[in-house]
Structure 1
Amino acid sequence: MLLKNFSDFSLEAGTDEAGRGCLAGPVTAAAVILPNEFTSTLLNDSKQLSEKNREKLKPIIESEAVTFHVVHLEPEIIDNINILNASIQAMQNCIVNLSPTPEYIIVDGNRFKPVNNIPHSCIIKGDSKYLSIAAASVLAKTYRDEYMDRIHEEFPMYNWKKNKGYPTAEHREAIKKYGVTKYHRMSFRLLPEQLKLEL
């Protein structure tokens, strides 16, 4: 059973990101404040949920949340500031767009930078411990998957509809065969050393 709050504040936001380890597409973050009375037997860390259950939870979270916000940060930004900083920036952007403003932030993972002097705590595996972080993980994952499905139509040969930009053998084979797109992260190792790309 996931916990409701980490702090004693009622306006506690949970935040998480999706797509950090991908070779293509944005890193997507979400932040959510849930009402105190929110309950769900289904909600869990998005990685533990089937796609069907994530899709089922998305409208429930959106309709019942006090407030939520989702942000995509594009590969160009990831390449400029690195994936860790991009992940943190995406989560920060979500937080500043929440209304009402959270009194406390709980972050999945172990790295975050303060935003607007709001106190925060980083929680390892927070998405499997706290409802608001789990809700944020579901929104980040579903919104990012939708984004990857859209750009799949533009470049179907990479099969982003299935691999969502992660470094699968199929995705790497397509990079080797077709080269890179504007959606690929050029600062990432897109191919193993022995399969260098001619750029």
Structure 2
Amino acid sequence: MARQRPDSPPLFEIVDRPDFSVESRAIARGQWPVAGLDEAGRGPLAGPVVAAAVVLDPARIPDGLDDSKRLTLAQREELFSTILATSLGVSMASVCAESIDSSNILKASLEAMRRALCGLPLAPKLALADGRDVPPGLPCPGEALVKGDRRSQSIAAASIVAKVMRDRMMTGCGLMDARYGFEVHMGYATVRHRTAITAHGAVARWHRISFAPFRVQGDEAMVADLEDASVF
């Protein structure tokens, strides 16, 4: 017998697209400007973690804002330009692979978000951070939103800016060293990337030596030299 669908409403609202409701409630409390914070690049084996802070203009919110992972490359690029053109403030910051190795990726991600917020041309009264953690050391109150890039348009805008900027940085790495295909996989652990690491070793100051497979196989044997590799 087929199972009947319950006629009671769901206990929790299913969020599909980000909106401006969290920001609107903050404005009603007198907390304006509101900045959205997000990062890109927590999972890759190479490259920096990049964060962005965005203060949207409530009167000029771009259409189509969403979690950057749910957008195509063309959509991200178009929205990136629109966000820069219409927002009240946009700032970006990164933490390099060496700094990630010296602490950990969570601390590095939160530090990148803090730096991005501090780089804004205006002082926010509230920061909305994607995830479970509020970056320490913010110059204003902060609120963490799990899946914030699918709930808050400000965070969604920050996710797009961070993703586009990081992809451009990794594309630059691919132009400097064609062996690894950074411009294709952006430093993630694809088969192509892992094969290149096995063949050529890791690039000093580009690869995250604290990540597997480097720490499994041994740092000294894996690290290759590359002149002028410290581009981050």
Q: Give the TM interval when normalised to the shorter protein.
A: over 0.9
Residue 146 of structure 1 corresponds to 168
**Structure with bigger gyration radius:** 2
Which segment is superposed worse, 33-42 or 165-174? 33-42
Distance in 2 of aligned mates of 1:187 and 1:24:
11
Does structure 2 conserve the Cα–Cα contact (< 8 Å) formed by 1:4 and 1:132?
A: yes
Residue 210 of structure 2 corresponds to 187
Residue 95 of structure 1 corresponds to 117
Residue 29 of structure 1 corresponds to 51
Q: Secondary structure at the match of 2:202?
A: coil
Residue-by-residue CA offset, 1:135-194 (whole Å, 9 max, x unaligned):
00000000000000001111111101110000111111110000010200111113595x
**Residues 1:174 and 1:139: Cα distance change in structure 2 (over 3 Å):** same
Q: Is 1:176 the counterpart of 2:198 in the alignment?
A: yes
Residue 2 of structure 1 corresponds to 18
Structure 1 runs (4+) greater than 6 angstroms displaced: none
Residue 166 of structure 1 corresponds to 188
Does structure 1 conserve the Cα–Cα contact (< 8 Å) formed by 2:187 and 2:193?
A: yes
2:61 to 30, 39, 42: 39
Distance in 2 of aligned mates of 1:67 and 1:117:
16
**Residues 1:94 and 1:192: Cα distance change in structure 2 (over 3 Å):** closer
Which segment is superposed worse, 40-49 or 128-137? 40-49
| Displacement after TM superposition at 1:129 (Å) | 0.9
Query: Relative CO higher for 1 or 2, CA cutoff 8 Å, sep ≥ 6?
Result: 1
Residue-by-residue CA offset, 1:72-115 (whole Å, 9 max, x unaligned):
21111111111110000000001111121100000000012343
Q: TM-score, normalised by structure 2?
A: 0.81
Q: What residue identity is the alignment partner of 1:2?
A: P
| Displacement after TM superposition at 1:65 (Å) | 0.8
Percent of paired sites with the same residue: 36
The answer for unaligned runs of 5 or more in structure 2 is 1-16, 223-232
| Displacement after TM superposition at 1:3 (Å) | 1.8
Q: TM-score, normalised by structure 1?
A: 0.94
Q: What residue identity is the alignment partner of 2:173?
A: I
The answer for unaligned runs of 5 or more in structure 1 is none
